[in-house]
Amino acid sequence: MAAFHPSFEQLPPEIAVFPLSGALLLPGGRLPLNIFEPRYLAMTQDSLAAGRMFGMIQPEPGVPRGETGPGLYRIGCLGRLSSFAETEDGRLLITLTGVIRFRVAEELAMRRGYRRVRADYAGFEADLDLAEKPVGVDRATLLGALRPFFQARGIEANWEAIEQTSEEMLVLTLAMVCPFDVREKQALLVAATPEERAEMLVALLRIGAHPAPGSGDMSPDRRPS
């Protein structure tokens, strides 16, 4: 077990959640966040004081708002605060490292303005395994889908760094950073296996390289809720 990586028994049963459309955290991935709203500053400070973990989850499009905010997807990802810095203007710059997916078993009372849930990790135990996992898609296929997608989107890339990245980390990183819409991001999160996620990623890259006329930018509105 790597340092600071929790075992299944150490996972918190109750967690704060950060609802953010278009922000995908996957187990093993790293998500940089710029925290500035008072409620999420409070959430981050409380998390630093107790276990250094909170969950990322997306609001679900079309679900009515409730008393605590927009309706949420039922599956998110628990993250561990793996880096932390303060800014002179009162923001917190953090990196969240994905630990394990969870299901929302129950929403709890809010604390200091941020939302909390009871988390159910059953069925996601394999997320805690840090061993390298084959993704079932070869590098040539992945890059063959990625290059036209980046070209179509006008995205600059460090191809030398990409070539040196393992297939597993490449799939994780691309799934998290590529400008897919909210539903597509959620589908990548809930994929049952690394192979299924990689196949879905390749399909989304190929589709995204040829957007429908008038569809505009796929990038979602990444505002916290």
Q: What is the mean pLDDT of residues 97-107?
A: 98
- 59 bridge partner residues: 72
Whole-number pLDDT of residue 136:
92
Which residue type occupies 168? E
What does the pLDDT look like over 74-85, one tens digit per residue?
A: 999 999 999 999
pLDDT at residue 73 is higher than 90: yes
CA angle 217, 218, 223 (to 5 degrees): 100
Instruction: Give how far Cα 67 sits from Cα of 70, 74, 109, 116, Å.
Output: 8, 17, 10, 13
What does the pLDDT look like over 139-179, one tens digit per residue?
A: 999 999 999 999 999 999 899 999 899 999 999 999 999 99
Categorize the per-residue pLDDT at 219 as very low, low, confident or very high, splitting at 50, 70 and 90.
very low
Query: Which positions ≥6 away from 87 have C-beta within 8 Å?
Result: 93
Q: Are residues 136 and 194 in contact, defined by beta-carbon separation less than 8 angstroms?
A: yes
Whole-number pLDDT of residue 216:
46
Residues 225 and 189: their CA atoms lie apart, in Å, by 19
Whole-number pLDDT of residue 211:
63
Categorize the per-residue pLDDT at 214 as very low, low, confident or very high, splitting at 50, 70 and 90.
low
pLDDT at residue 201 is higher than 80: yes
Categorize the per-residue pLDDT at 220 as very low, low, confident or very high, splitting at 50, 70 and 90.
very low
pLDDT at residue 218 is higher than 80: no
Whole-number pLDDT of residue 110:
97
Collapse the DSSP code of 101 into the 3-class scheme (helix H, G, I; strand E, B; otherwise coil) and give the result.
strand
The region, left, alpha or beta by phi > 0 then psi within -120 to 50, assigned to residue 69 is left
Q: What is the mean pLDDT of residues 118-125?
A: 97
At residue 190, φ and ψ (nearest 5 deg) are: -90, 0
Mean pLDDT (the chain) is: 92
Whole-number pLDDT of residue 210:
84
pTM of the model: 0.90
What does the pLDDT look like over 23-56, one tens digit per residue?
A: 999 999 999 999 999 999 999 999 999 899 999 9
pLDDT at residue 124 is higher than 90: yes
